[in-house]
Structure 1
Amino acid sequence: MQIPAQIDFQGFEPTEQQRALIDRKLSGLEEFFDRITACRFVMKAPRQHHRTSGQYEVNIHLVLPDGHEVAVERTPPEDERFADPEFAINDAFSRVRRRLQDEVRRLRGDVKAHEPQPIATVRRVQPEEDYGFLETGDGREIYFHRNSVLDDAFAQLKPGVRVTFVEEAGEKGAQASTVRILGKHGLR
């Protein structure tokens, strides 16, 4: 970190074990992302409040390059596990690490984009036998069963209707585990 971490305990004096745990967790965050510029860690002793009685509060605020920030600032839920200071510390660091991972993905441009589902055309339907076949853009034939069709739309499937599908390996070859009719806005 460019600036040493600010660590503050309010209403109690931590044990050496708690300090060591915090140092290990901070080191782990730095190992994951070595460009954290600053960190503020605040741990508050349990208050005698009807909602948070006996529970430690831990707030962690990280500053990243270009003004990006990651923070965990919350009052713990009514959960007796937060009466254990080590549990409260571990929970807060787990939460801030997940948020840091998300922010680092955004900074790197690695945000997941879902693959578009493939499109096919209904080739034929056997309504009395509850199945049909799709034809993919590359000419393959994919089997589907009535139970694979979403929105109870099996009766609407006719040859020529365009659908999206999820393909899987079946006992007799490729089959669609999910079939959805493309709507007006789904035409591609």
Structure 2
Amino acid sequence: MQVPLQITFHNLPHSEAIASRIEQQFDKLCHFCDRIVNCQVVVEIPHQHCHKGNSYHIRINLTLPGEKLVIDRNNSNSFNNNAYVVIRDAFNAAQRKLKQYRELQKI
């Protein structure tokens, strides 16, 4: 079953490379949990005045049967301004939340 994936960019132009990385990470997530109904990923750079470099913010909204999971990750506390690191961290957090979801479904 093909799960809908929506990728939105705010305050930065659409990037095929970033979208491709998100799709790869999402495919891994779908193999981990086959109960995902829908996924929305928002990639943004918040407005920052007098600040060097880009601070990426990733929000993943996952819809599962009877549950909605929201994962927020940014690199504002990090010296690494790499979107790919923030994407990896966000999807790792999503996998942890899905693991908790699966454990609760077993009860």
Q: Into which bin does the TM-score normalised by the smaller protein fall?
A: 0.7 to 0.9
Higher relative contact order (CA 8 A, sep 6+): 2
Indicate conservation of the 8 Å contact 1:40/1:61, yes or no.
yes
In 2, Cα distance between equivalents of 1:50 and 1:91: 26
**Greater strand content:** 1
TM-score (norm 1): 0.50
Q: Structure 1: any 5+ residue segments left out of the alignment?
A: 110-188
Once the two structures are TM-superposed, the CA of residue 90 in structure 1 deviates from its matched residue by: 0.7
Q: Give the equivalent residue in structure 1 for 2:35.
A: 35
Match status 1:54 vs 2:36: no
Contact 1:30-1:36 within 8 A present in 2 as well: yes
- Which residue of structure 2 aligns with residue 68 of structure 1? 67
Q: Point out where structure 2 has 5 or more consecutive residues left out of the alignment.
A: none
Alignment check: 8 A CA contact 1:59 1:71 kept: yes
Q: TM-score, normalised by structure 2?
A: 0.84
CA distance in 1, matches of 2:54, 2:14: 16
Change (3 A) 1:61 1:49: farther
Give aligned-pair identity as a percent.
Answer: 29
Provide the residue aligned with 2:6 in structure 1. 6
Structure-2 separation of matches of 1:50 and 1:68? 40
**Cα deviation, residue 13, structure 1:** 2.3
Aligned residues: 107
Amino acid at match of 1:80: F
The structure number with the bigger radius of gyration is 1
Q: 1:90 maps to which residue?
A: 88
Larger fraction in helix: 2
Q: Tell me how large the CA RMSD over aligned residues is.
A: 2.4
- Please tell me whether the aligned partners of residues 73 and 90 of structure 2 are also in contact (alpha carbons under 8 angstroms): no
After TM superposition, what 4+ stretches of structure 1 lie above 6 angstroms from structure 2?
A: none
